[in-house]
Amino acid sequence: VLANRYEIVNKLGSGNFGTVFMCKDSYGDKEDKVVKEIYVGELQPDETVDANHEARLLSRLKHPNIVKYFDSFIDETLEYFCIVTEYCEGGDLDSKIIETKKKGRYIEEVTVLDWFVQLVLAVRYLHSQRVLHRDLKSRNIFLRKNKIKIGDFGISRILMSTVDYASTFTGTPYYMSPEVLKHEGYNSKSDIWSIGCILYEMCALEHAFDGQGLMAVMYKIVEGKPPDLPKRYSKDLNEVFKGMIIKNPDERPCATKVTQMPYVAKHMAVSQVFLNFYTRNLVQYVIHYKLNYTLYFSSEKARMSDYEDASQKSLTPAEKAKIRKLRKAEEERNRLSQLAKENYLENQERKSDIRS
């Protein structure tokens, strides 16, 4: 148990910077959460800045397509810095792509577009907060209820003052932009290049720029001709991809410009119509369900109360079964009501983000 609150359930994975566990939160909603445990025991104080920075950064980022932050602390041994975030039951996008490829399948274009738009909107929000992710890749993108969530801000960097570049050379080679590989600095357009590489990966189920060894990969990124998306995907989507991996960052679109590309804007408009329809019908369903529940169960709950008031008397098996049935029905009503509320609030957030 960490911080007298988080009970470790099982290990989810590990990386260069830490180990990730699923845990149970004994406080609040008691939902499954994730603890990222970062070893700092042998580091100098100034070397723990990345971990503290990640926690501070996550705590102020509020977006439906960014992993939600809950808590951070140093454990009792003073050796581990822990960050608590929401649990994404769908795993990471990299695992999803590998699984799809192993099954000999592909990701439908409408799904690719949905995830792509969510990713772009999340990055647009980051950039509006003067934040660069700097390590966007499929392993750092998670799925929760089939929606994209960007995570792992361990090497993100806040843009300071009016300076739009961060010179630190870090990240994953497959997703690095030409200007980063040439040590020309990293800016918001470099994140856009990475999203383009992720778009290709969702379609082709392999890296956009690959080769035998690091130098071969770097050469293809800097000098090579970008590949086309597989033929099963539309020319419109291929044009979106090509527009995001223009080698000159000055000619590469920003996140806002990506959302204004005709094919992307059209998909977002259709999504907006669907969300409006879904939200309106969801509200009507909740009102209808609650009204019928109230009318039907008001008398049934009174009868159940009568049964329970007679607890000193012996109840027949049929009466006991009736009480159990009513209790289960009320639990299901509460569950559906909470689910409807969560979906409504999430869709309102997405509508607001699409409109902006």
Could you tell me which residues come within 8 angstroms of residue 148 by beta carbon, excluding any fewer than 6 positions away? Answer: 65, 93, 115, 118, 119, 122, 141, 142
Q: Compute the distance between CA of residue 151 and CA of residue 85 in angstroms, rounded to an integer.
A: 9
Q: Compute the distance between CA of residue 191 and CA of residue 182 in angstroms, rounded to an integer.
A: 16
Q: Which of 71, 92, 135, 191 is catalytic?
A: 135
Could you tell me which residues come within 8 angstroms of residue 264 by beta carbon, excluding any fewer than 6 positions away? Answer: 113, 116, 117, 120, 240, 258
Q: Which helix (H) or strand (E) holds 70?
A: strand 69-74
Across the chain, how many H-helices and E-strands are there?
A: 10, 9
**Longest Cα pair distance anywhere in the chain, in angstroms?**
86
Under 8 Å between Cβ of 165 and 186: yes
Q: Is 250 a residue of the active site?
A: no
Instruction: Count CB atoms within 10 A of the CB of residue 294.
Output: 11
Residues marked active site are found at 135
